[in-house]
Amino acid sequence: MVRIFLIWCAGLFSPSLLAQAELLPRGIGLIQLGQRQYDALDSYYDQSGQKEALGNKLSSHLSGSHLRSGKSGADLKRLSSELGRYQDVNGNNLANEIDLGYVNGDIDVKVKSQILGVAYGLTSRWTGFFGIPYVDSSVDAELSHSGANNADAIKRELGDLAFAELESGLERAGQLDTAALYDQIGTKGYQSIDHWQHKGFGDLRVGAKTAFSHNMPKLMRAGTTVTSTLLVPTGYVEQPDVLTDISFGTGYYSLALGIDEAMTFQKQYQLGVSTTGQYNLPTRRKMRVPEESESMISAERETDVKVVPGYDFGASAFTGWDFGLIDVRYRHGFDRHMHDRYSGSLRGNYEVMGSSTGVWKHFHEASVRLDTVESYRKKRFVYPMHLSLNHRRLINGINTPNEKYYELQLNAFFSAR
C-alpha cells in the first residue's frame, strides 16, 4: 500500500486562481469568490503514465517478485531472500514460486473547495493580489485479501529443511488475510484507513503583476503580463501516521514567476501562451523513512527529514473569443514538478521516498464567462463583474490523480477612488 496523494496539491489551486486576473487600473479592486467541485476521483496516472484505478494504489499482488522488491515490507523481503536459496525440481527458485494472494483496495475520494481572493490596482502598472482556498476533503478506503496463498504448502514442502525462522515466517505469511492487513496498519502505528476527513485552508498566494503592451498594427493588440507570486505554506500537509490523507498545501515556500504573451485580434479573438516557473524553498518535515521499499513504514522510523523540493514549471497555450457579454476560452498546457529530494540522519531509503514525487500533468481547460464590465461602463448593467464557469481535466499525466473539476468563479470589481 502506498501513500495515496503526494504532490497532488501542487496543482490544486493554481493557474485559474488570480494568476489569470487582469491588470487592474489604479484604485480598482477585485474580490474573487470561487467554488470548485472535483469529480469523484477514481483513477490516477502512475509512474509510467498508465491510467490505473485509484484503488490500485492500495492493491497489490503479493507475488514472489513483489516480495523481493521490498514493497511488502522488510519481513516479507527477508522471507523471499531465504526462499531464494531453494530451487525446486523444475529449477524454479522458491522465491519466484511463493504467492500470498492479492490485496485489493477500494478508495472513494471527495474534494471541494472555496476560493477567496483579492486584487487591487496599486498603480496603473502594478496590481497586487492575494488568495487562499478553503478545502473540504474526505477519503474512504477499504482493504480485502483474495486469492490463494501457497506459503503453507511451501512450508510443508520444505519440512525439516527450513530453518526455524523461515518456518515461522512461512507460517505467518500463510495466515495473511484481511484482518491481518488491517492489523498491520495498526501495528505500524497508522490511523485507520476507513475514513479520513479534513477541512482547512490551502496555501496562501501573495503577489503582484504588471503588464505592458507592444506596438501592433491596427486591430491587433499584444501584451506581456508578468506575474510574481509568493506561496506561503498555510495549507494542511499529509501527516506521517495517516495513509490516506490529502495535502492541501505544499509545506514549503515558493516563488513563482509567470509570463503571459497574448495577442488580440479585432478586440474579439485572443491567442496567447503562458509560462510559469517556480522555485521551491527547502524545508524540514516529520516523515517516516523506509528501510527498503516498504509501503507501510513503522512509526519508529518517523524522523525529521529535510525536503528539497523540485522545481515547478509549466506552459500552456490559450485562445479565447469575446462575444460581448459572453466570452469563451480554451487553454491547453502542461505542468511539471521535478522530483523532490529527501535526506536525514536516520539511515534508510530516501531515494524511494522521492521516486514518485515527480509530477507531469497534461491538461486542458475550458471556460465560459459572463463579462458585465463593458456593459456596466455603458450603464447597461448594474454591476461590473465576471462570472465564469471553468472546467479542467487531464489528458494524461504521471504521478497524479486523474483530476477533473468544475469551478464557478465570481470576480466582483470595486472602486476605491
Partner 1 sequence: MIIVGFTVGCGSDKRPSVKARANGEAVAGDLKHQDGNQGNDSAASDITWKIPELPDNADGANLRTALSKLDPGSIGVDHFWALSRCDCAASFKKNRLLEWRERLGVLPHPLVPDLREGVIKDPQVQLILGLPGALADLLGDLFVDDAELEVQLVQGVQQKLISAVPGGGDFSSWPSFRFELFPSIKNAANGGIVSITEQVAKWGMIWSINGMWDGETPLVEGSHLTQFQQIILSLSEWKYMFGLDKSSITNIPYGGLARSKVSGLTGALAAFDPRTDSAGHGFFAGNYRVAYSQTSSKMDLSVRARETWSNSTEQIDLLTQARLWHTAAVAFARLRPTNRTAVTTIFQAGGGIVADDGHTLPLAFLPGLAALLDGPFINRDDRTIFAATKLDGQPGPSADLHDLSSLAYALGQWYVNLEDLSLENLDDEARSKLESGRASIKQALQLVTQNMLLNTMDESFAHRAEALASLNFVAVSCLDSPFLNSQIIRLTNDFFSDRLGPVLTGKVEPSAEEAIWTAMLLNHLKEQTGDANNQQKLGDLISFFSESIESWSESF
Interface residues toward partner 1, by CB under 8 A:
85-90, 153, 156-164
Closer of 153 and 370 to partner 1 (Cβ) = 153
CB of 96 to partner 1, least distance (A): 13
Closer of 89 and 416 to partner 1 (Cβ) = 89
CB of 166 to partner 1, least distance (A): 9
Task: Classify residue 28 by its DSSP letter.
Answer: E
Task: Measure the CA–CA gap between 304 and 308, rounded to whole angstroms.
Answer: 13
Closer of 90 and 215 to partner 1 (Cβ) = 90
Closer of 94 and 103 to partner 1 (Cβ) = 94
Burial 239-274 (b: 16+ CB within 10 A, else e): bbebbbbbbbbbbbbbebebebebebeeeeebebeb
The CA R_g of the chain, rounded to the nearest whole Å, is 26
CB of 152 to partner 1, least distance (A): 9
Pairing of the two strands 400-401 and 385-398? unpaired
Closer of 30 and 94 to partner 1 (Cβ) = 94
CB of 87 to partner 1, least distance (A): 7
The H or E element that residue 280 is part of is strand 269-280
CB of 156 to partner 1, least distance (A): 6
For residue 146, CA distances in Å to 102, 169, 172 come to 5, 20, 16
Closer of 97 and 327 to partner 1 (Cβ) = 97
Pairing of the two strands 220-232 and 283-288? unpaired
Q: Which three cell numbers stand for residue 88?
A: 525446486
Closest CA to 318 of 257, 392, 389, 371: 392
CB of 89 to partner 1, least distance (A): 5
Closer of 24 and 154 to partner 1 (Cβ) = 154
The beta-strand segments (E) located in 48-183 are 51-53, 60-63, 99-121, 126-146
Closer of 63 and 276 to partner 1 (Cβ) = 63
CB of 162 to partner 1, least distance (A): 7
CB of 157 to partner 1, least distance (A): 5
For residue 27, CA distances in Å to 118, 249, 311 come to 13, 31, 35
Q: Is residue 246 within 8 Å of 139, Cβ to Cβ?
A: yes
Task: Measure the CA–CA gap between 228 and 209, rounded to whole angstroms.
Answer: 6
